Amino acid sequence: MDERPDLAARHKRLGIRTLLVAALTLLSRVLGFVREILSATLFGDHSAVFDAFITAWRVPNLFRRFFGEGAISTSFQTAFTKVEGEQGEQAGGIFFRSTLRALFATLVVITLLTMALIMVIPDQMPITGWHWLGADPDPVRDLALRVMPFVIFICLAAVGSAALHVRGRFTAPALGPVALNLVWIGTLVWIGTQFGWTIDEGDFARHEEMAHTLAWGVLLAGAAQLAFLVPALGREGLLKSGKMAPGAPPIPGVGVVLRRAAPLAFGAAVYQINVMVDGFMAEGLLEDGGPTLHYYANRVQQFPLALVAIAATSAVFPALQAYGQKGDLLSLRRLHDQTQRSVAFLAVPAAVGLAILAQPILSVTFEHGAFGPEGVERASGALGWLALAVLPAGATGLVARAFYSLGDFRTPVWISAFALLLNIGLNTFFLVGWGMDVDGLALATAITSWLGLAVMLPIFYSRQGMPRGPGGTLDSMARTALAATASGAAAYWVHRYASGSFSPLWALLLAMGSGLGAHLGAAFLVKSPELQRVLRRGAGQKS
């Protein structure tokens, strides 16, 4: 019997499912951007209360990044796959439920301890006297206490999503973030209808009421993401209680997950602490609006970074791990180098576009309602500097994963710790010594990102036993740089002339489209190996 039609049908379903998940992921990113636009419209560009909300939000977001969406979920997925592969789905279900119970208890304790710490920490840093919570610390404390329980919902959702991924269920985990953003957006729309869309930014009491409502909405959004996974988990039998048969091999405890998660958590924590330190320094050292504008500039920078570098790194990490476990250093090196080149092919023109079009991007995106041109002007310089960090930030994340695949967690951690201390020193120098604004924080980030990559990459390449790469990387990077230069020139000139004849939105879209077309055209002319590889693959599929 010929099974090829069945195989073709399965491949077709897999392709459709992959496209659906990719579309949902992109939708979630777009909705996240919409929520920032609504926040800017409501709270403006120099609201002291929204500064406090952004600073408070960084605390649960820190735990979310390296507990829920990073170390714990990655470690659990590895252990869960092994348990189900060796002992079956029933054992996997028991392991999932025991992990969920232990993680819930741990998260409750962490949340309560953090909330207690928030209430007792001093308003000023010892010795330095730095007002690290700003001139009025009470709103930061109040809002941090209100949003801290978000950690529980989002970390449990991350483990549930990891389990569903192992079972081959990707739609519900992809829909979860969409649900979160929709609830968050709904809360902002409710705030606008109840309090008004144009509020005097000096009306502190009214802004405080709005921020309290938003904090409740954030918790509801986290609960919505978790609740969205429950039906899918139930269908997979992961929520059904059960016991192993007598004489069955023992199921690993949750300690396995925590032990494997610890090194990843340390590595992720250093970067996220760096982000949080930036936020607190913005709150304590900049004028009103500084933390908000720094946050928005980072959100714009993170959009291409997440779609290109972070997505590619996540996609190749399982293969890097497989090569590392087998000791196949040549394949690991080739995959790492090829991925770096592919990421650079997209990240470099994106960075050039962000730098050149920083002002129109921020204006079209955020200059609505209470957000005025002064905020765009302050944030434009920051986005210009942050654009320079797109390539090294993505490249460093990939190199760190290559180290992890070799079982080396220490090297990325100490390099990240060095970068953290350097970033704090540069922040202080630019903000206190030079009197810079938000752009000082962004400049420190750009310098730190490049220096961190300059330290980490040579160490990786010089590891004992690491073979030489396939070559051609410098040539590929040079061709990418030429194409990106053409892209930037096209975007600049098209926007310059289109802005006089079209609306700001259409002028920006024309500039971005021209930049993309110029990059691809120039890449074709200079025979970029990355573009040629894509074209050959497309031609092969058609044939």
Calculate the alpha carbon distances from 89 to 38, 80, 82, 102, 460 in Å. Answer: 44, 10, 11, 20, 38
Residue 78 pLDDT exceeds 80: no
**pLDDT mean over 416-437:** 90
Residue 228 pLDDT exceeds 70: yes
> What does the alpha-carbon distance between residue 512 and residue 421 come to, in Å, rounded to a whole number?
37
The confidence score (pLDDT) of residue 272 equals 64
Residue 25 pLDDT exceeds 80: no
Residue 464 pLDDT exceeds 80: no
The confidence score (pLDDT) of residue 38 equals 94
Sign, Cα dihedral of 177, 178, 182, 185 = positive
The confidence score (pLDDT) of residue 14 equals 46
What is the rounded average pLDDT for all residues in the chain?
Answer: 83
**pLDDT mean over 318-326:** 81
pTM equals 0.84
Q: Are 62 and 302 in contact (CB under 8 A)?
A: no
> What does the alpha-carbon distance between residue 358 and residue 450 come to, in Å, rounded to a whole number?
20
Supply the DSSP string of 180-238, one letter for each residue. HHHHHHHHHHHHHHHH-SS--TT-HHHHHHHHHHHHHHHHHHHHHHHHHHHHHHHHTTT
Residue 262 pLDDT exceeds 70: no
The confidence score (pLDDT) of residue 479 equals 94
Phi, psi of 132 (to 5 degrees): -75, -15
Give the model's confidence band at 20: pLDDT under 50 very low, under 70 low, under 90 confident, else very high. Answer: low
The confidence score (pLDDT) of residue 220 equals 97
Q: Are 178 and 29 in contact (CB under 8 A)?
A: no
**pLDDT mean over 474-501:** 94
Give the model's confidence band at 286: pLDDT under 50 very low, under 70 low, under 90 confident, else very high. Answer: confident
Q: Are 386 and 521 in contact (CB under 8 A)?
A: no
The confidence score (pLDDT) of residue 1 equals 42
> What does the alpha-carbon distance between residue 278 and residue 284 come to, in Å, rounded to a whole number?
10
Place of tokens 């992961």: 238
Interval 329-366: pLDDT, tens: 999 999 999 999 999 999 999 999 999 999 999 999 99
Cα 182 vs. chain centroid, distance in angstroms?
Answer: 18
When mean pLDDT is compared over 192-196, 262-266, 392-396, 490-494, the highest value belongs to: 490-494
Give the model's confidence band at 7: pLDDT under 50 very low, under 70 low, under 90 confident, else very high. Answer: very low
Tokens of 58: 């960084």
**pLDDT mean over 31-54:** 91
**Closest residue by Cα to residue 472 from 304, 318, 344, 328:** 344
3-state secondary structure of 332: helix
The confidence score (pLDDT) of residue 138 equals 85
The confidence score (pLDDT) of residue 288 equals 85
Residue 18 pLDDT exceeds 60: no
Burial 376-394 (b: 16+ CB within 10 A, else e): bebbbbbbbbbbbbbbbbb
Q: Are 315 and 377 in contact (CB under 8 A)?
A: no
Give the model's confidence band at 310: pLDDT under 50 very low, under 70 low, under 90 confident, else very high. Answer: confident
The confidence score (pLDDT) of residue 540 equals 57
Q: What residues contact residue 363 under an 8 Å CB cut-off, 6+ apart?
A: 373, 376, 504
The confidence score (pLDDT) of residue 439 equals 94
> What does the alpha-carbon distance between residue 400 and residue 267 come to, in Å, rounded to a whole number?
9
Sign, Cα dihedral of 438, 134, 214, 203 = negative
C-alpha angle 22-227-311 in degrees, rounded to nearest 5: 25
Place of tokens 């990355």: 530
Supply the DSSP string of 440-477, one letter for each residue. HHHHHHHHHHHHHHHHHHHHHHTSTTPPP--S-HHHHH
What is the CB neighbour count within 10 angstroms for residue 69? 18
Q: What residues contact residue 441 under an 8 Å CB cut-off, 6+ apart?
A: 278, 281, 282, 294, 382, 427, 430, 431
**pLDDT mean over 375-383:** 94
3-state secondary structure of 499: coil
Structure-model confidence comparison of residues 211 and 21, the more confident one: 211
Q: Which amino acid is at 492?
A: Y
Supply the DSSP string of 262-319, one letter for each residue. HHHHHHHHHHHHHHHHHHHHHHHHS-TTHHHHHHHHHHHHHHHHIIIIIHHHHHHHHH
**pLDDT mean over 90-119:** 87
Percent of the chain with pLDDT strictly greater than 70: 83
Q: Are 390 and 350 in contact (CB under 8 A)?
A: yes
The confidence score (pLDDT) of residue 419 equals 87
Residue 474 pLDDT exceeds 60: yes
Residue 140 pLDDT exceeds 90: no
**pLDDT mean over 58-85:** 71
Q: Are 60 and 272 in contact (CB under 8 A)?
A: no
> What does the alpha-carbon distance between residue 223 and residue 244 come to, in Å, rounded to a whole number?
31
When mean pLDDT is compared over 196-200, 299-303, 373-377, 396-400, the highest value belongs to: 373-377
Q: Are 267 and 396 in contact (CB under 8 A)?
A: no
When mean pLDDT is compared over 73-82, 133-142, 472-481, the highest value belongs to: 472-481
The burial of 63, by beta-carbon neighbours within 10 Å (0-12 exposed, 13-18 middle, 19 or more buried), is given as buried
